[in-house]
Amino acid sequence: MKIFSVFTAFSAILSCTAVVSAQSNPDPIGTIYDGHVPANLYGSSYPYPWPVKLFNFYNQRQKLTMAFMDIPARKHNKHKKTAVLLHGGNFCGVTWSDTARQLSAAGYRVILPDDIGFCKSSKPQGYSYNVQQQALNIHSLLTALGIDRATIIGHSMGGMIAARYGLMYPDNVQQLFLVNPLGLEDWVAKGVPYLSIDASYESGVVSNFTTLKAYEHANYFPNAPWKPEYDAWVHMLADIYAGDYGSEYSYVMALVTDTLLSQPVIYQLPLLQTRTYLLVGDSDVSALGKAWSSPDVAAKLGHYHELGPAAAAMIPNCKLHMFAGLGHAPFLQDPKAFYDARQELVKGYDKAKDILRQGSTEDSQEALKGVERGGWMMLADLEETETSLVAQADDVSEEWTPEDQMTLLLLMEEESRANIEKARSLLAPYSNSSQARSLRKKIDQADAEKKRYFQECRDTLLAGGRLEDVEEE
């Protein structure tokens, strides 16, 4: 398929200069260790499915070590897509394993860090665990790995960190996924009383398998049967509490709880500039402070079936998916539903399916217009690349359904219209020049060729063919 980018050609002709600036930090931000790592690291002996690497860096006047896994893409990824998955407070990076495998198979390089203070990472006692600091730590890790832009996916506490990362580093975020994030409500404003760090530590230091399982079942998977596979994640935490770093870990959790209570992200959500997807299990009832609040206050907290839609309405560029009947960790409770939902949000399956199924009805046409208007938000993993969407029609995966391809076609049409309009606007000041007249004629010819091509693509898809079957003029 030949690629003809009108806008690229005209921009090259009409632009006089291009200025590229780069800045670099002369100070080392840390080093990556890729050698032997002991099975029991900072009190965590849970087996990880991929090699553990270490990011050693200096922060808050102390040497720290962040453990992480770096999973390569399992298929060719010419756009070098990277996904960073941030765990929750009662979880570790390894909890994302199923999602990581799916993303790797889809062509993503996947980074699974253990936050400072958690799991196989350092557990400093004199440390500020504020959310901004944790976002900075993740950014430092990605910088050390040479990763400039990534898809950031955060769950629970990791969702708070992901949102803060999006606020602090919008230019470094390809897209943002918040999965049942904490901070969608102001717990203190709703009446949660202050619990001292010492009291929080004392309640945590006695944690064991039985107490952790009871807490997670009541808060993370309410009204659902406990599955045997969940036991592994409870053992993962219980072993840390019972291990050599159990006391240190309990104190870290007390410090983190104290910090999170004072830093709900709800007030900053309207400031997010990144493309954001909010995925929420509507049966989630978890909330910081509920355990030590009065019954009246506790009754006000953790209503994610309300918090999810309310938060989505506050974020300028957001799509919401609610998981009916799922709790705090939908990616563990129903991994397939979670991954399918992510794909639908990004690729716009539902609207495309409606268009194909409803044909030429009035509702279908309205849906079509809606998809075209919102086309720039869809298929986010194919956006912001150095080549046009039309160019990528050659690389459509065999796994793509007709709905996927129809969505890409709609985006291709939207991209073409935008480029044609921009090219014409660039020529407007030069309407009397012979060069402008010649270029304007070429624009009109290219526009007509594109329209014929898109119509042939549409006819081919509706007849059961594929995009790569159509040759562009």
Q: Which helix or strand (DSSP H or E) is residue 11 part of?
A: helix 6-14
Taking only the tens place, the pLDDT of each residue in 172-228 is: 998 999 999 999 999 999 999 999 999 999 998 889 999 999 999 988 888 889 999
- Tell me the backbone φ, ψ of residue 334, rounded to 5 degrees: -150, 80
Beta strands in 330-436 (DSSP E): none
449: Cα separation from own chain's centroid: 37
Determine the average pLDDT of the residues in 56-83.
Answer: 89
More confident residue, 270 or 395: 270
Residue 41 is classified by DSSP as: B
- Percent of the chain at pLDDT > 90 equals 56
Q: What is the mean pLDDT of the chain?
A: 82
- How confident is the model at residue 29, as a pLDDT? 77
**Does residue 432 carry a pLDDT above 80?**
no
Among positive and negative, which fits the CA dihedral 93, 99, 101, 106?
Answer: negative
Taking only the tens place, the pLDDT of each residue in 33-66 is: 999 999 999 999 999 999 999 999 999 999 999 9
- Tell me the backbone φ, ψ of residue 452, rounded to 5 degrees: -65, -40
Residue 245 is classified by DSSP as: T
- How confident is the model at residue 442, as a pLDDT? 83
Judging by DSSP bridges, how do beta strands 150-155 and 82-86 pair with one another? parallel
**Does residue 463 carry a pLDDT above 80?**
no
Domains defined along the chain, listed by start: 24-347 (3.40.50.1820), 349-469 (no CATH)
Through-space distance between the first and last CA atoms of the chain, rounded to whole angstroms: 8
Using an 8 Å Cβ cutoff, are 251 and 353 in contact?
Answer: no
Q: Which helix or strand (DSSP H or E) is residue 84 part of?
A: strand 82-86
Taking only the tens place, the pLDDT of each residue in 131-164 is: 999 999 999 999 999 999 999 999 999 999 999 9
Q: Which of 226, 420, 433 has the alpha carbon at shortest distance from 333?
A: 226
- How confident is the model at residue 332, as a pLDDT? 92
Encode 178-202: b = buried (16+ Cβ within 10 Å), e = exposed. bbbbbbbbebeeeebeebeeeebbe
Taking only the tens place, the pLDDT of each residue in 257-266 is: 999 999 999 9
List C-alpha distances in Å: 32 to 69, 70, 111, 117, 141: 11, 11, 13, 18, 9
- How confident is the model at residue 140, as a pLDDT? 97
CA dihedral angle for residue 387, residue 391, residue 392, residue 395, rounded to 10 degrees: -130
Q: pTM above the 0.75 mark?
A: no
Q: In the β-sheet with 173-179, what is the strand arrangement from edge to edge?
A: 31-33, 52-59, 62-71, 109-113, 82-86, 150-155, 173-179, 276-281, 318-323
Question: pLDDT band for position 454 (50/70/90)?
Answer: confident
Using an 8 Å Cβ cutoff, are 336 and 386 in contact?
Answer: no
Q: Is residue 231 classed as helix, strand or coil in its secondary structure?
A: helix
Taking only the tens place, the pLDDT of each residue in 6-17 is: 334 434 333 332
Taking only the tens place, the pLDDT of each residue in 294-313 is: 999 999 999 999 999 999 99
Taking only the tens place, the pLDDT of each residue in 340-398 is: 787 766 655 444 544 444 544 554 455 444 444 433 333 333 333 333 444 445 455 56
Q: Is residue 395 classed as helix, strand or coil in its secondary structure?
A: helix
Using an 8 Å Cβ cutoff, are 299 and 290 in contact?
Answer: no
Q: How far apart are CA 34 and CA 349, in angstroms?
A: 40
**Does residue 101 carry a pLDDT above 60?**
yes
